[in-house]
Amino acid sequence: MATKKNTTPDRQLLISKYTDHCLVHGKRPESVYKFAKDNGFEESHFYKHFSSFEALEKHFFAEMFNHTLEILEKSPAYTEYSGTEKLSAFYFTFFELATANRSFVMFALKEGGTALRNLVKLKELRTAFLPYAEAILEKPFETYGHRVGKVQDAALREGAWLQFLSILKFWMDDTSASFEKTDIFIEKSVKASADLVYNIPLKSVLDLGKFIWKEKFNA
C-alpha cells in the first residue's frame, strides 16, 4: 500500500504531470501506482478523477474542445457569425491550441502506431462536437417530416466530424512553417463543404481537390 502523501492533485495537475512524463520518457508511466508514487500523491487520488491513463487522455481532448469554445464565446463577433463561419472559427482556434500542445497530441494519437485504436481517445471530444455542429449549422432545406429532419441533422453533424478528422490528419502531416498549409486547408475545406451543402457550385470543390493533389502528390 502506498504511503500517505500530503499532495492532493486536481485534474489539471494530474494531466500536467502525465503529459510531462509521456514527453520526457517517450512512453506512458508503467502503472498508476508508480505514477502516483513518483509524483508524491496517493494512488487513490488519481482514481478520484480518472479510471485509467486512457480516460485521462480522452479528457485531455475533451478539454481542448471546451477551451476552444470558451475562447470563441469571449468574442462578440462570434455570436454574429453564420454557422459555417462559426465552424471555421472553431477549427482555426482548436488547431491553434493543438499546435501549442502538438508534442503531446502527436504522442497520444500515434502511440503504438495504431491510428484506429488511438481515435478512441477522441470519443469524448466527438460526443461534445456533434451536438455543437448540429446546433450551429443551418439546415440546407426545410423539412416537414420528423424522420427526414433527423437524417438531415445526422448528415450535417457527421459530415462536420469527418471534416474535423480530415483537418486533424492534414495538421498531423503538415510540415509547413507555423502550419500555414493547415490554415489554407481549413479555409478551402469549409468553403467546399459549404458550397456542396448550400450552393453546389464545383469551383471551390475543384479548388480543394487541386490543393490536396498538390500537397500530397507533388510535394
Enter the C-alpha cell of residue 183: 490554415
pLDDT at 31 over 50: yes
Of residues 18 and 159, which shows the higher confidence score? 18
What is the residue-averaged pLDDT of the chain? 86
Report which secondary-structure segment, H or E, holds 17.
helix 11-25
Which amino acid is present at 124? Answer: E
DSSP three-state, residue 124: helix
End-to-end CA distance of the chain: 56
Tell me the range of 32-41, 103-112, 200-209 where mean pLDDT is highest: 32-41
**pLDDT tens digit string along 121-157?**
999 999 999 999 999 987 654 444 444 446 556 778 8
Cα 84 to Cα 35, 138, 156: the distances in Å are 43, 8, 11
Q: Identify whether the C-beta of residue 166 lies closer than 8 Å to the C-beta of residue 148.
A: no
Mapped onto helix, strand or coil, the DSSP state of residue 137 is coil
Q: What percent of the chain has pLDDT over 90?
A: 68
Mean pLDDT for the stretch of residues 53-66: 97
Instruction: Enter the C-alpha cell of residue 61.
Output: 481532448
Map residue 39 onto helix, strand or coil: coil
pLDDT tens for each residue of 3-17:
444 578 999 999 999
